[in-house]
Chain A
Amino acid sequence: SQELEQSPQSLIVQEGKNLTINCTSSKTLYGLYWYKQKYGEGLIFLMMLQKGGEEKSHEKITAKLDEKKQQSSLHITASQPSHAGIYLCGADGFNDYKLSFGAGTTVTVRA
């Protein structure tokens, strides 16, 4: 299965500031997913990236997949308290059907 490393492990940002989370794979990514989780609750699907160089945006969240398809970033512009939570990147295996996840990045937004 894929091994995904997320950085940073956690971050605290002032409301209104931007933030970026990175997800790096040891193998070429077949499909890369970003999810958000409130502590102890279910995962909410944010975006899926498949093609090298692909970029998708939803409201104030933008995700990119690099050309080599081994690294993805999630960028939040002008953060709000509603952006607080745990962000997880996940990826399908290249030759199998296992979905692996990074350890997650905990985002705290200070008013």
Chain B
Amino acid sequence: EAQVTQNPRYLITVTGKKLTVTCSQNMNHEYMSWYRQDPGLGLRQIYYSMNVEVTDKGDVPEGYKVSRKEKRNFPLILESPSPNQTSLYFCASSPRVGVYGYTFGSGTRLTVV
């Protein structure tokens, strides 16, 4: 089944403890991106990647890192999580920007205490 898989689905962590949220797609998509969704603020893009080894900042990149060493994987790294990073996170992928739709993962609900 073609899909975007995020792990974990739920995570509670403490301030300052490094964590990684994984994202993997099995559709050979070139484009991948990360979003956070917060009440009243909607979906905001954190980082995106046009292809392997090509990443760029979205609208809210502060406090996050990403890497794209393989086409299928696009992990989101929080080096030192803070409570304001408590949010619902989504990973998405697309064959090509502006040509096809985006497939979203099921989401990761992160709580930083």
Instruction: Assess whether A33 is in contact with B101, with CB atoms less than 8 Å apart.
Output: yes
Closest CB of chain B to A94's CB: distance in Å? Answer: 9
Main secondary structure of the interface of B (DSSP, over half): strand
**Among residues 28 to 48 in chain A, which have CB atoms less than 8 Å away from a CB atom of chain B?**
30-31, 33, 35, 40-45, 47-48
CA distance A98 to B97 in the complex (A): 9
**Among residues 47 to 98 in chain B, which have CB atoms less than 8 Å away from a CB atom of chain A?**
48, 50, 56, 58-59, 88, 90, 92, 97-98
**Among residues 5 to 56 in chain B, which have CB atoms less than 8 Å away from a CB atom of chain A?**
31, 33, 35, 40-45, 48, 50, 56
Of the stretches A15-23, A61-69, A77-85, A101-109, the one at the interface is: A101-109
**B42, B50, B58, B109: which contacts A40 (Cβ < 8 A)?**
B109
| Apart from A1-B45, A48-B101, A99-B92: 13 A-B pairs, beta carbons within 8 A | A31-B97, A31-B99, A42-B107, A45-B101, A45-B103, A88-B42, A88-B43, A92-B98, A97-B48, A97-B56, A98-B58, A101-B42, A103-B41
- Residues of B with Cβ closer than 8 Å to A? 31, 33, 35, 40-45, 48, 50, 56, 58-59, 88, 90, 92, 97-107, 109
